[in-house]
A and B are shown apart, each in its own frame.
Chain A
Amino acid sequence: MKKENVELIQYITVFLLTSFSTAIFLYINMLVMSDDVPFATLVTALLLFYLSILIKLIVPIIGSIYVVKHFSNKYILNIYQSLKWSTVILIYAYGFDYIIGHYIIKDNAYTLLYGISPVYAVIYVFALIRMLVLKIKNR
């Protein structure tokens, strides 16, 4: 398999795992903790929720630094180089979450639990800062 394709698969996998980390954590928590102490299950669920928020903040930043330094896939790198493409993806991510959250799953916790937009928002902010820094450097 081409290196670019491997990178694309790696990128999407990490992105989705990070996005769904809350849901994955809560699911594992229900399996492990369920039944006799619902309060303990609830509290660990809430702790894992905060942990997943931390993951959703840290992983995109560290991942983006790694991608910019080591990846050669031009489509992925475009996110960090082109304001147009990164904004288009951001709008797509928010639109996707809005439609699923409001019309399909109809759950106000959808974005927090499963949404892809919070993770991409971090990547977008990282990309904006990087582009700004590069622009200032290139002057």
Chain B
Amino acid sequence: MKEIYVNAYTKKDGTHVKEHIRRIDGTIGSFAPVEKDTDWGIIKELPEEDNKFGIMYANGGGGFSGDVLTGGISMLDFDIPTTGTVIIDAALITAGVAIKLAPIALEMYNAVQTANAEALAKLKPQFNASVNQLETTQSIVKSKLDKKLEIINSTKDPQEYSRLYNSLAPEYDAYQKSMNSINKMKFAAENDNYEVVMNELDNYQNLQNNIIKTQPTTPANQSLTAKNINYTSYQNPYTQSPITQNQSPFPGANPSSGVSASFPEKVTSFDKTLKYAFQHIPIEKASTTNLKNALNNFDLARKDEQVILLNSLQDIKNQQIYNLMKNLGVPETSKGLVYSCDSKISQEIAKSNTLKKYIINNYNKLRNGNIGLDQIEFGTIYDPDLHLAFQHVTLLNPQIDNAGTFSTYIIDYYDFNYRDMPDSIIGKFKTYINNWGYKMQENDLLENYFILLYIKFEVNQI
């Protein structure tokens, strides 16, 4: 047990907290690395900034501990309801209302110009109703933000408090700007100055669009549930069609969709020959390793000290990762591989051009820990091997700490969806091979599994 000295501080609601000694038991709210001596060598649980999910890494023992993913630190910020989405949701709603309001405002402007009092009188109730709708939405936003502020104020950890408070400040700012804009519109409408109304409406729309664009999809202090993952904007890499809220972003999570009645077909000797060939392909790349693991009952993974084989999703004791995987569509019974940051594949990803580009483009967000969940796509030209191995992957909690170390968890699910035959010759060929994978999968000759990679490296290496 460790003790730390906490300075006196004043909460937002005015409560004064005296200076005190806080005891840390190494689990909840701990920031200190905990060392455990095991058969695998000294196992360290990473400091919270590095490891929010309790995954341990071995120091000198060669690879992961057998009891990896054992729950670890219960993150306080995951218990706090979403803050970032309140303002985004409101922006999405009000942007829609503002779009409808724009033609009304234009008609009213024309009515004023042509001195058409009758038309103006007809349009005024519609206009007022829309403005009221905007005001109501903003008042809901205000009440939700206030509620979250109350919860944040009850946070006892000063570090957490300041982080959460800082994340809420821009939302209050956005709310305030939106309200100012609505008030200006109302005032201008009362004075029949619809030119100002239209200009202000334009400003308001820009403001809401900027909120939607600039806010991260899932801020760091957001609970990791299905609601927070924007499924609607996710493009299924296999079908290239947007998938709906009820569907998983992982292609194989809905194997029944689009499957013809004749599937799965029987496996022929040609299929088995192909399987044998791929099982013994003498290339050690991420793409071939993934395929070999799927075909060889994880033989490669079992031999690799940097990889842990999990028998089911339930082996992940950490609730946050477990829930996220489940929400992403990984079946409960699916086996999985956990790669340490020293594994070949993790190193390959760490050196990939796509990840470097992502870090450069999102450096400030990563430093602030603003990104909870994100997705990247490995390109065919820059990272052909990773494109073949993963294509799209989900990044969980990517961040750069004060020491300049980038860390993230990468989640993917290895499986195949059935595809209907297209007309083009190349398309037919692609589909045939894809369906070969599906056929093998359905006949239990190719195993689906989830992949959890831990990536950690110094950013100045880029």
Contact = CB atoms under 8 A, between A and B. Distances in A.
Contacts, number: 67
Given A30-B384, A42-B291, A46-B278, A37 B430 contact: yes
Given A43-B278, A50-B277, A112 B426 contact: no
B435 to A, nearest CB: 9
A32 interface: yes
Interface string B258-271: 00000000000000
A49 interface: yes
Contact of A38 (B282, B391, B426): B391
Given A30-B380, A46-B278, A38 B433 contact: no
A34 B288 CA distance: 16
A38 B237 contact: yes
A112 B283 contact: yes
B238 interface: yes
A78 B384 CA distance: 41
Interface in B324-348: none
A36 B283 contact: no
Interface residues of B, number: 31
A38 B240 CA distance: 12
Contacts of B387: 34, 38, 41
A79 interface: no
Interface string A88-109: 0000000000000000000011
Secondary structure at the B interface, as helix, strand, loop or mixed, is helix
A49 B283 contact: yes
Nearest to B384: A30
B430 A33 contact: yes
14 contacts: A30-B380, A30-B384, A32-B426, A34-B387, A36-B430, A40-B431, A41-B430, A43-B433, A43-B436, A44-B433, A45-B388, A46-B288, A50-B277, A109-B285
Interface of B: 237-238, 240, 274, 277-278, 281-285, 287-288, 291, 380, 384, 387-389, 391, 416, 419, 426, 429-434, 436-437
Interface of A: 30, 32-47, 49-50, 108-109, 112
Given A32-B426, A39-B437, A40-B434, 12 more contacts: A30-B384, A33-B426, A33-B430, A34-B380, A36-B238, A36-B430, A37-B433, A39-B433, A40-B430, A42-B388, A43-B436, A46-B277
